[in-house]
Amino acid sequence: MSKNNTDHLYQLIKSLTAAEKRYFKVFVSKGKSKEEAKFIKLFNLIDKYQDYDEARILEAEKSIKPAQISNLKAHLYRQILQSLANYNPDDDIEIKIRELLIYANLLYNKSLIDQCWKILEKTRQMAENYDKVLLLFEVLEFEKKLLTKSIRTDIMDSVLKLVNETEQLAKRIRNTRIFQNLTIKLYSFYLQIGFIRNAADFERATQFLYSSLPAFDEDKLTFNEKMFLYHSFTGYYFFIQDNERGYQYAKKWYRLFEEHPEKVVPKIEYYIKAFNNLLAAQFKLLRLSEFEEYSKKFENIPNIKGLKSTFNIERQIFKYSSIHKINKYFMLGEFTEGTKIIPGIAEGLKKYEASLDTHSLTIFYYKFACMYFGDEDYQKSIFWLNKIINAKDVNIRSDIHGFARILNLISHWELGDNELIDYHIRSTYRYLTKKSDFHLYQQYILKFLRKLAKILPEELKQAFIDLKKDLLPLRNNAYEKRAFLYFDIISWLESKIENRSNQEIIREKAIKRIQLSEKS
């Protein structure tokens, strides 16, 4: 994305739908003076151009002076947000509840206590129906304040009931926050390193999970508490590569929504996450038939009754749906077919590029590279690997950055770029050493690639055999096996030893593993 396109006002305007743009123009155009209408002209120009170019805007609209542009942009930004708040406010239940709380506060300030109670009753019911516990807590606190203004014979009973409700709700909120915080801590750790590298990582992740877990009876937990609890355990088991346990918790998380279908629309983003984690678990365990069944259900999410799609939901569905389409080809070992969908996904990424995080883009680029490598299109594999290697933020998923460099080395070797091998080996060595991610897997491969240039053609097959012998035991090592998640180097070595295509060997293995998994 162009650097200029990171301007916040530009991004906000480009995120608006056609209907939202029309509403904005109606919303701001009434009663505006000629001078005030300048920000509308600014809106139209930013909307018109594909890139944000301030010099071009000032050239096109002479009435806007350079000294005014900063204030005009700030004013325009506020006006757009106000128009969005007024555009179909009923579509967002949180906005609607907060609006009712504002009304209740206005009535309270007027000492219209009975009217205030009426508004709060409606607000409480809405917050309870949609499980908006934080807003419900605000309602209960407001009710406490109102009780002090009421003259009622049953005030003591009302106070005790309200205090008990508040305490119970506070406990639910506290548990939910603990489970939610665990998820965030684990995810931040995962973003840095990927899957566990050593015993220290395992201890740290386990400490995150168990040190602050409150005592709880799972059967007595509320929907929200269970949702975040299952989220935490799913992430933990995936992180330590216990995929079977991760699958069990992902399924519990998804089934929670099946048991409470009324929660799907109000908590659609968490429903999508639960669905995504279940599909990821099915992929990791090669449960193909189950994966295909749930993939079809996932594609139907936009058609859920009562769901109003937003850009954020569209982006989430696009991201996960695209990843799972790619994963299916990996699962089957069908790289040639898989490469056919990459251009379309890459084009779709452009629409969401500004709002997709670095981690998601890194995942896409690496999967693209692996798919092209599997299809033996090494030039395209290197193209996508370079997007990872040349990225500024190498602290996000340092594991993928490391393995991208390994795959890049092998791709250059496949292309016969021998003069570049030494440079890339030194660069990869420096990176892995700096990131404290230099394991036996990497050492064996770098040592192998370093001596390749000196190996005679008739010795090459034995060199592949020797490397395979070194690497095979690592697949059962708790902290080395993660390497084989990123690139099936054993199959690549076998393709060289047996003089067959990498894709053919991986596909044969995939079919056998899937058949075995489906029987279990």
- The pLDDT, as a whole number, for residue 320 is 95
- The pLDDT, as a whole number, for residue 383 is 96
Predicted confidence (pLDDT) at residue 2 exceeds the cutoff of 70 = no
CA distance 286 to 270: 24
> Residue 41 in contact with residue 63, Cβ under 8 Å?
yes
Residues 456-474 have a mean pLDDT of 85
Residues 79-99 have a mean pLDDT of 80
The conformation of residue 438, written as its DSSP 8-state character, comes to -
CA distance 320 to 306: 21
Amino acid occupying residue 510: A
Predicted confidence (pLDDT) at residue 3 exceeds the cutoff of 70 = no
Residue 177 CA to its chain's centroid (Å): 20
Q: How many CA atoms lie within 13 A of 135 on its CB side?
A: 23
Amino acid occupying residue 329: Y
Q: Give the range among 107-111, 250-254, 351-355 with minimum mean pLDDT.
A: 351-355
CA distance 495 to 499: 5
CA distance 437 to 450: 19
As to burial, measured by CB atoms within 10 angstroms (0-12 exposed, 13-18 middle, 19+ buried), residue 120 is buried
Residues 408-429 have a mean pLDDT of 81
CA distance 30 to 57: 24
Predicted confidence (pLDDT) at residue 1 exceeds the cutoff of 50 = no
CA angle 382, 448, 197 (to 5 degrees): 75
Higher pLDDT, 250 or 311: 250
Short-list 413, 353, 354, CA closest to 381: 413
Higher pLDDT, 487 or 150: 487
- The pLDDT, as a whole number, for residue 438 is 66
Find all residues with CB under 8 Å of 140, minimum gap 6, and list them. 124, 162, 165, 166, 169
Tens digit of each residue's pLDDT (9 = 90 or more) over 330-344:
999 999 999 999 999
3-state DSSP call for residue 217? coil
Short-list 454, 443, 372, CA closest to 408: 372
Higher pLDDT, 436 or 481: 481
- The pLDDT, as a whole number, for residue 155 is 67
Predicted confidence (pLDDT) at residue 260 exceeds the cutoff of 80 = yes
Predicted confidence (pLDDT) at residue 34 exceeds the cutoff of 60 = no
pTM (2 d.p.): 0.79
Tens digit of each residue's pLDDT (9 = 90 or more) over 174-213:
888 888 888 888 888 777 777 777 788 888 888 877 877 8
Predicted confidence (pLDDT) at residue 9 exceeds the cutoff of 50 = yes
CA distance 371 to 503: 10
Residues 250-263 have a mean pLDDT of 95
Q: Which H or E element spans position 484?
A: helix 483-486
- The pLDDT, as a whole number, for residue 520 is 64
- The pLDDT, as a whole number, for residue 343 is 95
- The pLDDT, as a whole number, for residue 32 is 60
CA distance 130 to 90: 13
Per-residue pLDDT band at 23 (split at 50, 70, 90): confident
Higher pLDDT, 93 or 121: 121
CA torsion, ordered 131, 137, 139, 145, to nearest 10 deg: 170
CA distance 144 to 159: 7
> Residue 492 in contact with residue 502, Cβ under 8 Å?
yes
Higher pLDDT, 311 or 344: 344
- The pLDDT, as a whole number, for residue 153 is 59
Higher pLDDT, 77 or 433: 77
Tens digit of each residue's pLDDT (9 = 90 or more) over 140-160:
989 888 877 765 656 667 778
> Residue 98 in contact with residue 126, Cβ under 8 Å?
no
> Residue 288 in contact with residue 517, Cβ under 8 Å?
yes
Per-residue pLDDT band at 274 (split at 50, 70, 90): very high
3-state DSSP call for residue 416? coil
As to burial, measured by CB atoms within 10 angstroms (0-12 exposed, 13-18 middle, 19+ buried), residue 131 is middle
> Residue 298 in contact with residue 318, Cβ under 8 Å?
no
Residue 448 CA to its chain's centroid (Å): 36
Mean pLDDT of all residues in the chain?
85
> Residue 216 in contact with residue 175, Cβ under 8 Å?
yes
Residues 68-88 have a mean pLDDT of 85
Which pairs from 6-12 meet CB under 8 Å and 24+ separation? 6/354, 7/52, 8/77, 9/46, 9/52, 9/73, 9/76, 9/77, 10/46, 10/52, 11/354, 12/77, 12/80, 12/81
> Residue 242 in contact with residue 195, Cβ under 8 Å?
no
Predicted confidence (pLDDT) at residue 14 exceeds the cutoff of 70 = yes
Maximal CA-CA distance, the chain:
99
- The pLDDT, as a whole number, for residue 421 is 75
CA angle 227, 230, 232 (to 5 degrees): 110
Predicted confidence (pLDDT) at residue 376 exceeds the cutoff of 90 = yes
CA distance 246 to 252: 10
The conformation of residue 213, written as its DSSP 8-state character, comes to P
Amino acid occupying residue 86: N
Predicted confidence (pLDDT) at residue 33 exceeds the cutoff of 60 = no
Q: Using a pLDDT cut of 90, give the percent of the chain over it.
A: 29
Q: Please state at what angle helix 288-299 crosses helix 311-332, rounded to 10 degrees.
A: 160
Tokens representing 193?
Answer: 């390193």
Higher pLDDT, 512 or 518: 512
